[in-house]
């Protein structure tokens, strides 16, 4: 049951330039979906990279269960957290199954290697790409490639999942399927951080949200408490209405037109 914590995070593109992130903090807890939301350029993906250990901040720290991420060896880190990036380019003609199987690489030469086949098959079924197993990834649509990339992350079987816009290129059905998988992963005990542009998805599926704008965290907490009409209008510079869904009671965000 892992907890991923970042505090005091400051990132600058070059020395002396305006920070991309300034004094940002977030805690991603086991059993929860934590959504990172905010307008374009807010710093969401940069904070995501810091959490993953791929971006070194100028200031601040990132730890997993109190241990610094920077002190962890790459293979150990890969057994602890799995990362889905916005772009998942594949340069060689690998099949979909081969790409998903790459997620099992951190477990090579360990007892968990015996679970490789089952983990790959389960991940491909869950993302509905098992029928694409022998297709070249380069022949797939954008949405199909996105689901194969997610299957790779799920097959990695780590206690922490970091997902950067996992629904960006998906149709309505697969968007909802992916968010249900995100929810199920947290319900099974994973700590899940997910970057989202869809505020309604954050309201429907996240336990907590962190709202960023201009490199700063302006709100963290329960989705309905953070994503108010007033705060959304201020951060996104777009007037909205927020009202409960008539069937579920979950808040809905609708832009005023």
For 21-43, write each residue's pLDDT tens digit: 999 999 999 999 999 999 999 99
Q: What is the pLDDT of residue 251?
A: 94
Q: Where do the domains of the chain lie, and which CATH numbers do they carry?
A: 4-80+159-255 (3.40.50.300), 89-157 (no CATH)
Position 93 confidence tier, pLDDT thresholds 50, 70, 90: confident
According to DSSP, residue 18 is labeled: P
Residue 19 burial (CB count, 10 A): 20
Contacts of 193 (CB under 8 A, 6+ apart): 4, 26, 28, 34, 35, 36, 48, 51, 160, 161, 162, 163
Q: What is the pLDDT of residue 183?
A: 95
Evaluate if residue 101 carries a pLDDT over 90. yes
Position 124 confidence tier, pLDDT thresholds 50, 70, 90: very high
Q: What is the pLDDT of residue 242?
A: 95
Evaluate if residue 95 carries a pLDDT over 70. yes
Q: What is the pLDDT of residue 14?
A: 78
Distances (CA, A) of 140 to 127, 134, 208: 14, 11, 34
**Which H or E element spans position 231?**
helix 229-236
Name the more confident of 56 and 93: 56
Name the more confident of 185 and 2: 185
Q: What is the pLDDT of residue 89?
A: 67
Percent of the chain with pLDDT over 90: 85
Average pLDDT over residues 218-242: 96
Distances (CA, A) of 72 to 25, 26, 46, 69, 207: 20, 20, 20, 5, 28
Mean pLDDT for the chain?
93
Alpha-carbon radius of gyration of the chain: 18
Evaluate if residue 90 carries a pLDDT over 70. no
Q: What is the pLDDT of residue 18?
A: 85
Q: Which residue has the tokens 């629904």?
A: 167
Q: What is the pLDDT of residue 221?
A: 96
Evaluate if residue 91 carries a pLDDT over 90. no
Evaluate if residue 54 carries a pLDDT over 80. yes
Question: What's phi and psi for 167, nearest 5 deg?
Answer: -105, 10
Contacts of 230 (CB under 8 A, 6+ apart): none
């Amino acid at each position: 049951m892992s907890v991923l914590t970042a505090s005091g995070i400051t990132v600058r593109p070059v020395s002396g330039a305006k920070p991309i992130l300034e004094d940002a903090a977030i805690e991603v807890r086991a059993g929860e979906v934590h959504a990172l939301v905010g307008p374009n350029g807010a710093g969401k993906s940069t904070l995501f990279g810091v959490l993953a250990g791929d971006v070194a901040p100028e200031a601040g720290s990132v730890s997993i269960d109190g241990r610094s991420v920077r002190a962890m060896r790459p293979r150990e880190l890969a057994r602890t957290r799995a990362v889905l990036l916005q772009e998942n380019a594949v340069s060689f003609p690998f099949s979909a199954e081969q790409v998903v199987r790459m997620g099992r690489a951190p477990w090579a030469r360990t007892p968990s290697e015996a679970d490789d086949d089952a983990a790959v098959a389960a991940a491909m079924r869950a993302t509905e790409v098992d029928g694409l197993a022998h297709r070249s990834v380069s022949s797939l649509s954008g949405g199909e490639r996105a689901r194969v990339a997610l299957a790779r992350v799920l097959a990695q079987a780590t206690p922490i999942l970091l997902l950067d816009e996992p629904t960006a290129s998906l149709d309505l059905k697969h968007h909802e399927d992916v968010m249900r998988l995100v929810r199920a992963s947290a319900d099974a005990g994973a700590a899940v951080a997910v970057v989202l542009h869809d505020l309604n998805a954050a309201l429907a599926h996240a336990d907590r949200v962190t709202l960023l704008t201009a490199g700063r965290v302006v709100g963290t907490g329960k989705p309905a408490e953070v994503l108010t009409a007033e705060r959304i209008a201020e951060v996104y510079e777009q007037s909205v209405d927020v009202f409960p869904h008539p069937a579920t009671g979950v808040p809905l965000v609708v832009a005023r037109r």
